[in-house]
Amino acid sequence: MAEQRTLIHGQWSNRTVFILAATGSAVGLGNIWKFPYIAGENGGGTFVLVYLLCIALIGLPIMMAEIMLGRRGKQSPINTMRALSREEHRNPNWVWLGWLGVVAGILILSYYSVIAGWAISYVFRTAGGMFQGVTADGVNSIFTDLVSDPERLLAWHTVFMVMTMAVVARGVKNGIEKAVTFLMPLLFGLLIIVVIYAMTTGHFMEGVRFLFTPGPIDGKGVLIAMGHAFFTLSLGMGAIMVYGSYMKKQHSIAQASMLIALADTVVALLAGMAIFPIVFANGLEPGAGPGLIFQTLPIAFGHMQGGTLVGVLFFSLLVFAAWTSAISLIEPAVAYLVENKGMSRIHAAEWMGGITWFIGLGTVFSFNIWKDKTLTIPYLFENFTFFDSLDYLTANIMLPIGGLFIALFSVWIMREQSTRDELATHPMLYNIWRFLLRFITPVAVIVVFLKAVGAI
């Protein structure tokens, strides 16, 4: 019998709002720049197919489980895991799974905010015509000047954190819900506009072929696809769990999860169709990796007709994608302070925003005054900057562990009747979900994790 728990934070007005919020959490910088270039580097259409299979076998089952835990617990991830452990008469140490997600979200946002600050800066730089007729050396100089100036990075980091906490402080209905209802359609609209522009470059089909033509893929490429499918859905960091806690009982978890995964994948594919035609039309290198956004595309924007407008739209798209993700990253910690410390939303947002902003200073300094200061953790990484260390530990260690234990708790710790009651889906679909989470998904996540730490 489920305990009666009261949700103090409010609920989403309807299913559409929940899907927009969860999609906003999932859709981030990685969808718009990372997915296109890793697909191009690892087999094109073959990679996309493997990625979609991994979404179905790994991402969807864990997302359903995380939403289910959140809705049943009706609290922050920490208190949800504490309550569900008690309800199932299990070891109370499962509460540490909630802590893992909350801490991971704070750490990710601390450096995510700095990178998002770059995008804000580039909106204004592009609008001011800074990239008009610029050379490759010129773009590189502009980027280097930005990241080597700690005061400028700190300013943009602060701006983005204030933007994020201003939304979170207003609560679920007045803050997060209103923000995602406005930002997500705008994000999709901007992306469609850039895709339409890409169709006019004369290289649209070349870009599509680059992204979708099947090519050879090796074991490493399969693992990259598996890892990206997992991370792109924002799993294991408490965000989806806390958003699930605001979901109404009558809404289908399975249907919502499928729509979120579909929307997330569509954004990634559209991003590829927007970026690669522009890259090919300007004779640029499509496999430029992380530098594609800030050190390669500005060259294209600076030499194309209407490039200033397209560039402003593109970097605005990045800012909105980062903003919707950032809101979800900090929400679990804010919810916990409201529940356990009796703080108001505004006070809790100020505290967590300040802590996250402070941790972000390490990332700010990693690109300038601390760039020669490195960390080494045996068997994990060697000579990593503060930023590299946080990125590696969260993406490759904390999130896979979080996702793995969400899967294990949902099907090996919780009673079957509890999960059946909460998911309330077709028996055959439930059995498929349960089988995947019991036997397939954990093995796949363990493989990704062992690969990440160099054990295989």
What are the residue ranges spanned by the domains of the chain?
15-452
Per-residue model confidence as pLDDT tens digits over 16-27? 999 999 999 988
Look at residue 142 in the predicted model and tell me its pLDDT: 92
Residues of the chain with pLDDT under 70: 1-6, 287-291, 452-456
The residue assigned the tokens 């954004």 is: 267
Which option is the CATH number for 15-452: 2.60.40, 3.80.10, 1.10.10, 1.10.4160?
1.10.4160
What Å distances lie between residue 291 and 288, 294, 299, CA to CA?
6, 6, 12
Tokens matching residue 111: 């450096």
Give the global pTM: 0.91
> Alpha-carbon distance 64 to 66, whole Å?
6
Query: What are the backbone angles phi and psi of residue 52, rounded to the nearest 5°?
Result: -65, -40
Q: Which of 333, 453, 323 is nearest to 393 (CA)?
A: 453
Which are the contacts of 132, defined by CB distance < 8 A and separation ≥ 6? Answer: 302, 307, 308
- Tell me the C-alpha distance between 287 and 167, whole Å: 36
Mention every residue, 6+ apart, whose C-beta is less than 8 A from residue 302: 131, 132, 133, 134, 139, 311
What pLDDT was estimated at residue 137?
Answer: 86
pLDDT at 2: 56
Residue 444 pLDDT? 84
pLDDT score, position 54? 87
347 near 170, Cβ under 8 Å?
no
Tokens encoding 282: 């300007």
Rounded distance between C-alpha atoms, residue 339 and residue 75, angstroms:
8
Instruction: Check residue 455 and give its pLDDT.
Output: 67
pLDDT value at residue 3? 62
> So what's the pLDDT on residue 80?
96
Closest C-alpha among 250, 133, 242, 183 to residue 28: 183
